[in-house]
Structure 1
């Protein structure tokens, strides 16, 4: 049952919404009613609510404030705003701050029902996904012991493994390979680093477990198979009764991709190795499948690559496109976004799959990243704002993504560098105008607020600029300017010290003495007495 709350200061409106629609017949119950936002907030503490239907104009607390509160404290609740034509701008604002939909008053009964039912479907779909994940969690906890995974891993990835002993370990767990022919298929989650950003470690492992289930259930319909994780990839051992051409597995893997997209909502790519007699062929097939999967860097995500379709191991073209790198950095210096995109495209074009290996492409793209990093250091740009605090993530992106995605990620980095550089240039110009204003008006009654107002920034931002550019604060800088000028004037013994204090901006002579001694180490009188005639 979905729970609905009605919030409106007009009792007739609340009664109409409650009585004119047969809510229980649609699986919806009226959890509570409130006359304004303040009362609604109190009721939310007592009653479970899934959908909140609220007016905009109400006493005590209006609908916009209520929606902001709900979005912050009850993010699972779907909010629908009700407004008249005159309040349409408020309705748009409500959508911007968290409302799911809006209704124009007066609303027909069917319009209200259709809107609520649409949100009900969204809620139930979300609940279904949660239940699906809970089921996967339960299966994950009851999975095979880790020993089986390690045994399968050694069969495939190590040199000259003890086959008899490893196969005996598998039989202990009730698993064996009954047939003569063996081959390897490797599946890789596309853009895996994005998933790592979005989800926690437990959810990531759950996704891998769900993928493993899909793979084993789909492939086992054709031949016995076993899947295990290795360096975030899923390696599948296929045990076939007779020799099988690799093309036979393409439609089966396509079904795996389709099921993964449907049930787990991410995509995978696959590399297929050859099939041959004897379990010792697994190592060869594994290498072939890995080499096939390397092609993904050139052809993009959600691909299936046969080991026979690979690039040359001995590439002809191995030089780094240094001229294109310099052109990119020059475009960054100029702040020309169009030129940046064009020069990066030229860099990409210089890394052609016909003459390059995956290793050369990856090394070249990483070299460009580090050139950008060095550029930031030389220009005193905050590298954390551009690259984040962990450069290893960029390495992971390069190693596990297609060229299109890699270049998209690098374009984001380059544009960020350009943006930071432009911001720094603008800040320098702004700060110079601030210093010029102080130099010209230091003798007046100025402070941080008046100077900030003159250059159209906030006092807080002005303080930040002083800290960034001069490693000092505004007041210390102003005192320094005034005291330096006072020291010059003290050379003229015809001027009274009280007049000098006033001329440099201090109306209180006693305060002038205190500040002067703090910055010079002696009083104005002592300073004048120490001057040579």
Structure 2
């Protein structure tokens, strides 16, 4: 439907026009009324109707002067003038200021329908033209963001200014909306569909609020709102808008609001800065509004702090889930405060999970499972999600250990494996192990093989060689030193075991690292 604003200095006539003409049957709704041109001008600036039906002769400000003032502000508003037979000269003047038509008093219903049909056609033409201009401007903004050729950039800026029809230089602000994995909230909803819904919502919201902005699809899942700084939204409005979007669309978004007004020539810098703000989501979480002035003014750090891994694993093995969880929470809070880069956080998480699984003797040996873990962690958009993945693995580890401890022999084998893990560098024999668990060597061999599928000797060899591979990365260590560090007095025996297991000698392995 189209909106119409009615102006007449005769209050009775104004009420009759408003109440007795069947506007809704013509696809029109009355947006407001006024008794003179000045009052109408003030209200029209706020309401911005599609059509104004106004009397010509009025006190304070006549219809012609009001129409000229309105047209200077909103050249797309259509005017229809009311006039008497003795005011034909005014009618000609009205048509000269761009009126679509006029209606003679007393009003004739068929004439009203005819004129309104003409006005609606003009309104539709204006809407289509404005829609085309908006699309063109949005495309220009997107091109300017990524354009590297200076001359081409200047030409695009000139085209944008021409389409904007501004007589004076303007400054602009940019906000980026990033969709937070719509398929997580609505299974089956693609990122492309989510973007289409978001764009439609924003177009309707801007139209309803009578706001102008260029909506720019900058990257996949990222919508830019480029608007005149004079019309920039308050923080309260952004917060409320984000809630409306999330309630209506059914998935969350993160907004990066760059409140600093900038000239069009700086759009590439502004985009780069705003996109960096959007990446702050990794630390603060999804579904937030992030403001430039609130972002921590510190560089991301690559230097990840030490983690109490030994104490953490001890809590896991002692089934102290809450203590382990608190250690992890405290550590991740520290990572957030230090703004440790995402790649470092992801690499730490992958390594911790791998060592956690090795500690409960469920190492990731298949390459596809390692790839799944890598993908699951690196696709996380926030550090909170990465922490949650580690928590899940820790919970699995504790459940596994609880289940094992219900089996006396499994608990015993776990104890032996832990002893080997901690003392592999020492002289370990089946007799020394059996003495510590108060079992005969043969019985210990039997239950260990039953529960693990391997002999104690094979398990010890695997642990020692895995540690040796880690030490080979240190060029300052000789092969002889490494052999002794992992529990082998005979270097030649160590080399033969390594060759048999890895297919290459320790030195050849080192060259390929």
Structure showing greater radius of gyration is: 2
Q: TM-score range by the shorter chain?
A: 0.3 to 0.5
- Using the size of structure 1 for normalisation, the TM-score is 0.44
- Using the size of structure 2 for normalisation, the TM-score is 0.45
